[in-house]
Structure 1
Amino acid sequence: MAVRRSFVTLAVVAALGAGAVPPAAAQSALALSRRGASVGLAAALGNADRPEADRAADANRKPAGLLAFAGLRPGMNVADIMPGKGYFTRIFSNAVGAKGHVWAVVSAARVAQKPDAADAVKAIAADPAFGNVTALVQPLDAISIPKPLDLAWTSQNYHDVYYGVGADAALALDKAVFAALRRGGIFMVVDHVANPGMSPDDVRPLHRIDPAIIRQQVEAAGFQFEGQSGILVNRQDTHTLTVFDPAIRGHTDQVVLKFRKP
C-alpha cells in the first residue's frame, strides 16, 4: 500500500492509567501524547495531496480543532459516513497513517437517486496517495465495516437523514454505527443548528436540525454523551436562513457533539 504520510509517531506510556506510573509522570505522558497528536493533525492538514479547495475551506471548517476534540490518532480505524466529496476522508487518511484505515461510507439510497454520488470518494480510494481508504456504498441502517471502528464521523448530514427519510431512519443509522464501533469507540456528529420547536415542514428546507434532537436520537441508540465543542458556534447566525443562502453559506452556526459507546 503506497501511502504518503508526514506525521509524528506518538510515544505512549503503556502503563498510563493503570496505576503503575506516578501521577506527575502520567500527566506529562498525556501532555506529550496530545502535543504529538496536534503536530500530527497539523501535518495531515498540510499534506500536499490535499486539493487547494479543501485547504481554502479549512479556515471556516476548523478541522484541526474538531479532530483534536474527537481524539483522532494515528493507527485508528475510522468511518466517514456520508462523506460528500471527501473533505474529511483525505484528512482522516493522512492522520491515521498506514497502520490505520478509513472507510468512506456513501448511502446506497443516495447513489440510487444520484448515481455519481460515490464517485468522488471512489476516486480518492483509487489514488495511491490514499491507499488506506476504502469507499463503500451501503444502506445507512446496515453499515458493515471489516474491523471494529475507533471513530465514526458524520458532518453536516444528520439532518438529511432525520428530515429527509425520517426519525426512525436516523435512529437506525445510530444503531448501525453503535454496532460498528468497538467498545469505547467515538461517534461524532456535526450539523447546522436549527431553532428549537420548529415544525418539520419549516426546518426541512433550511437543512438544519435542533441539537437536542440529535442527542435524543443518538442516546436512544445506546450511546453516552461525552461533550460538546463550541468551535463552530456562530452567534450571528439566526438559524432562519437556508444553509445555502450566500449570506450565511460556509459560516453557519454548527453543533459538534461527541458520543461514546459504553
Structure 2
Amino acid sequence: MKLIKFTFLISALALTSLANAELNWDTALTGTHRSEGNAARNAARHPKETLQFFGLTPGMTVMEVAPGGGWYTEVLAVLLRDQGTYLAAHGTPNGGAYTRRSLGGFLRKLGENNDVYGDVVVTELQPPAALVPAEPGTVDLAVAFRNVHSWMRADQVETYFSAIFDAVKPGGVFGLVQHRAKPGTPLDVMRKTAYVTEEQVIEYAELAGFELDARSEINANSRDTKDYPGGVWTLPPSLSGDEADREKYLAIGESDRMTLRFRKPNS
C-alpha cells in the first residue's frame, strides 16, 4: 500500500510539474538549429499562434502527419523535448522514390541535430502500405499542414482522415492548415491548384468522425487571388511562375489558408 501511495505521489508531482511548465518558444522559433530561410517564414506561417489555437500544452503526445522536410518539426520537437512526445508520421521507406528522398532528408535532419531534437518518434502513415501511425487512441493532438490536396490527388484523403481519427484520443484534437479555395471550386480544380474549400475539408473530417470545434483566420491572406495557372506553387516559397512577375507574387506572399480545429467525440 505504501508503495502504491508513493508511486501515485510521484505521478501527481510529475503532472503538476508539466502543468506549470512553459514551452520554450524562443528557442523553437529562432534557435540556431533553424536555417535563416525557415525562421524567416515564421511571419507567414504563424507557428506559435497556430499551435496555441490548436491547444498545444506541455506533456502532450503530438503527432504531425506528413512532416515533409520538417519545417514544423523544427518547432514541435524542441517544444516537446523533455515535456511531451512528438510523433512524426512520415511516409514509408518503401513508398517510392519521392517518399524515400523526403524521408531520407528528414532522418538526416534529425540525425545531424539530435542534441536539439531529442527523442523524436518517427512512424509511418502512407496508404495503403502503412495505416497505423500511432497506437489507437493515444494522441492528444494531431496536426497536418498543407497536405489535404496531396491526399486528394492520390485518392487517399478519406484513408488519411480515418487513420488520424483512430490515432487521436476521445476528446482529442486534430488541427489542420490548408490552402483555401473559393467556395464552389470544383474538385478537379482543387486537385490541380492545391486550393481546397473549407466545406470540402470539413466534409472529409466529419466523414471520419471528427466534429468541427473552431476556425481561425490566423493564416488568412486577402491578397491571394487564387487564380494562377500554376496553382498555389506560383506564390512563395515555390515561386514557380514567370520570373517577370516575381515581385508581384512576393508582394502577395504565401497562400490564403484555413486554420481549423476538429475534436474527436468523447464517445
Fold shared, TM-score > 0.5 on shorter chain: yes
Coordinate RMSD, CA, aligned = 2.6
Which residue is equivalent to 1:61? 45
Q: Percent identity?
A: 27
Which residue is equivalent to 1:174? 161
Q: Deviations over 1:3-34 (max 9, x none)?
A: xxxxxx996898xxxxxxxxxxxxxxxxxx7x
Q: Deviations over 1:45-86 (max 9, x none)?
A: 133322222211111111111011011112211111111110
Instruction: Give the direction of change, closer, same or farther, for the CA distance of 1:13–1:157 in structure 2 (3 Å limit).
Output: closer
* Pairs aligned (count): 230
Which residue is equivalent to 2:260? 257
4+ residue segments displaced more than 3 Å: 9-14, 108-111
Please show how residues 93-104 of structure 1 align to structure 2 within 5 Å: 93-104=77-88
Contact 2:123–2:134 (CA under 8 A) maintained in structure 1 = no
Please show how residues 1-262 of structure 1 align to structure 2 within 5 Å: 40-108=24-92, 111-114=95-98, 115-126=100-111, 127-140=114-127, 142-146=131-135, 148-162=138-152, 164-166=153-155, 169-241=156-228, 242-245=231-234, 246=239, 247=249, 250-262=253-265
Normalising by the residue count of structure 1, what TM-score does the alignment of the two structures yield?
A: 0.78
Instruction: Give the direction of change, closer, same or farther, for the CA distance of 1:83–1:110 in structure 2 (3 Å limit).
Output: farther
Deviation at 1:125, TM superposition (A): 3.2
Instruction: Give the direction of change, closer, same or farther, for the CA distance of 1:130–1:59 in structure 2 (3 Å limit).
Output: same
Matches of 1:93 and 1:205, distance apart in 2? 32
Matches of 2:121 and 2:193, distance apart in 1? 32
Larger radius of gyration: 2
- Could you tell me which runs of 5 or more consecutive residues in structure 2 were left unpaired when the two chains were aligned: 1-13, 240-248
Deviation at 1:140, TM superposition (A): 4.3
Matched AA of 2:192: P
Instruction: Give the direction of change, closer, same or farther, for the CA distance of 1:184–1:56 in structure 2 (3 Å limit).
Output: same
Deviation at 1:231, TM superposition (A): 0.8
Normalising by the residue count of structure 2, what TM-score does the alignment of the two structures yield?
A: 0.77
Q: Secondary structure at the match of 2:116?
A: coil
Residue range with higher mean Cα deviation, 182-191 or 118-127 = 118-127
- Could you tell me which runs of 5 or more consecutive residues in structure 1 were left unpaired when the two chains were aligned: 1-8, 15-32
Q: Deviations over 1:142-161 (max 9, x none)?
A: 13315811111110111110
